[in-house]
Amino acid sequence: MFAVQMLGNFHRGLSFFALLVAAFVFDGSERLAANEPPNILIIMADDCTYSDLPMYGGENAKTPNLDRLAAQSLVFNRAYLSEAMCQPCRAELYSGQYPMRNGCAWNHSSSRPTTTSLPQHLEPLGYRVGLAGKVHVLPPKAFPFESVAGFDKNCVRNPTTAHDLSGVSEFISREKQEPFCLVVALVEPHVPWVMGDPSQYPPAKLKLPPNLADTERTRDDYSRYLAEITYMDSQIGDLLQVLEASGKADDTLVLFTSEQGAQFPGCKWTNWDTGLHTALVARWPGKVSPGIRTDALVQYADVAPTLVELAGGNPKDHQYDGTSFAGVLTGESDEHRQFVYGVHNNIPEGPAYPTRTISDGTFRLIENLTPDAIYIEKHLMGSRGDGSLNNPYWATWVWDSAESPETYNLVKRYTSRPAKELYKTSDDPYELTNLADLPEYSAIQNRLETELERWMNEQGDPGIAQDTKEAHQAAKKGKHLYFPKD
């Protein structure tokens, strides 16, 4: 009996000891997770329409590295940026603020001198914060990234300088105990489309998206654009191999995003879905479930607060317009925000053509504030004055429109727009059927109009007055004429 009792006490002691050890281990792992925030690697494409990528249904491009990354990641079906131009969208991504608040509401301008960004937000949390490749944000004091060598900074160089991975490798591996945040901003597939192998994409065999006119020149240019996407994909593969070789892949949150749409009519420089919708995938082994997709609505302004939260900081310490979607990454939530917002100020890309938009992920409302004007984007539609055209495919659209009603409608859609556009984007992803002012959609249109007006007022957005040479020139000098409301 005594032996049995002793044995029982021994087992109870073991059980208690096991529970104690388990509690200690669990608590320790929680503390370890809290004390070891992830490394962060952000890879950006340049002017890549999200829907041209196979992970989003693209039927032409070959992207084996991105496909593999997507299979290991959480893929966001509904990620957006606020302005479909390189400089404003980067300023939004790095600052966590909409174009009006950070001040970069035009291309080739400058954010407010008081703007802060990822380096100021993450360095106090112990991070090294670097940027390789294209910078295209101003002023430097607002975006004080450490410069990391190895990737071309010039998006219009012909050809793109071959990349050298030694700078990225050194930055990633420099400090074993100090987490890093590295942005690698690639310059493909920005025009000129000169990299990669177009022979992989015979023009006659391509399936053009329905928002592109089917001309011989368009097919040729689209072939070269797809070749650049594949070239970009090879760069992504090289970057992920460097991360793997560093031994830090399992401790790193990798984000890939495609920036705004490509330099085809109806994509970049517009508020249509193919301009503002971006690819976003997130891989973080052991923390983000792989191979799944989410319909959570997110925007570039949400990225900085998300990274700060994951790094152990408090997003409320910064004046963000966005909010953290960390809960979506970790699977605690499948929703984030109700609306995403967009703006376009056309100066200096052409004559003024102010546009504003809002989407709830299903419906998109676009307000063209000067609908009697003709929309002109000089880089896409014009000549440099030396007899050559910057983008020859546009001239073939105009020429073909005399014989093709489909092409005529695409030219008209691009150059002459109504005051209101309403699309059910979930059913009409290229937004070719305008539902504005139809009685059966009046409640949806009114809801979106009310929310867009509220957002513009909150941002201190004057609308038409924003898209002027005076406002743009002031912004270039850091003396912004309009300010968001606190």
Do 140 and 251 lie in a common domain? yes
Render pLDDT for 19-50 as a digit per residue (tens, 0 to 9): 333 333 333 333 334 458 999 999 999 999 99
Residue with tokens 């925007």: 299
Domain with residue 257: its CATH number is: 3.40.720.10
Summarised one tens digit per residue, pLDDT across range 448-484 is 999 999 999 999 999 999 999 999 999 999 889 988 7
Same-domain pairing of 329 and 365: no
In a domain, 270, yes or no: yes
CA 434 and chain centroid, separation = 26
Coil, helix or strand at residue 372:
coil
- 324 & 372 share domain: no
Question: Do both 286 and 316 map to the same domain?
Answer: yes
Q: Nearest Cα to 269, choosing from 171, 348, 337? A: 348
Are 197 and 241 contained in the same domain? yes
Block means of pLDDT (10 residues each) for the chain, 486 residues, are: 39 38 35 68 98 98 98 98 98 98 95 97 98 98 98 96 98 92 98 97 98 98 98 98 97 98 97 98 98 98 98 98 98 97 97 98 98 96 78 93 98 98 98 98 98 97 96 92 77
For every residue of 306-318, DSSP letters joined together read HHHHHTT--GGGS
pLDDT at residue 22, as a whole number: 38
Q: What angle do CA 304, 368, 358 make, to 5 degrees?
A: 35
User: Minimal CA–CA distance to 326: which of 259, 257, 277, 253?
Assistant: 253
What pLDDT was estimated at residue 3? 39
What gap in Å lies between CA 255 and CA 243, rounded to an integer? 13
- The DSSP call for residue 133 is E
Spatial CA neighbour of 85 closest among 334, 346, 428 = 346
pLDDT in the model for residue 311:
98
Residue ending a domain, choose from 310, 338, 366: 338
pLDDT of residue 36: 85
Q: Can you tell me which residue has the tokens 């959570």?
A: 296
Within this chain, do residues 157 and 304 fall inside the same structural domain, yes or no?
yes
Residue 29 lies in a domain: no
Is 285 among the domain residues?
yes
Query: Which residue range is the domain that position 253 belongs to?
Result: 36-338
CA distances for 101 relative to 117, 293, 417, 457, 481, angstroms: 13, 31, 28, 12, 12
- Are residues 450 and 369 part of one domain? yes
Would 446 be classed as within a structural domain?
yes
The number of folded domains in the chain is 2
Residue 318: the pLDDT is: 97
pLDDT at 486: 56
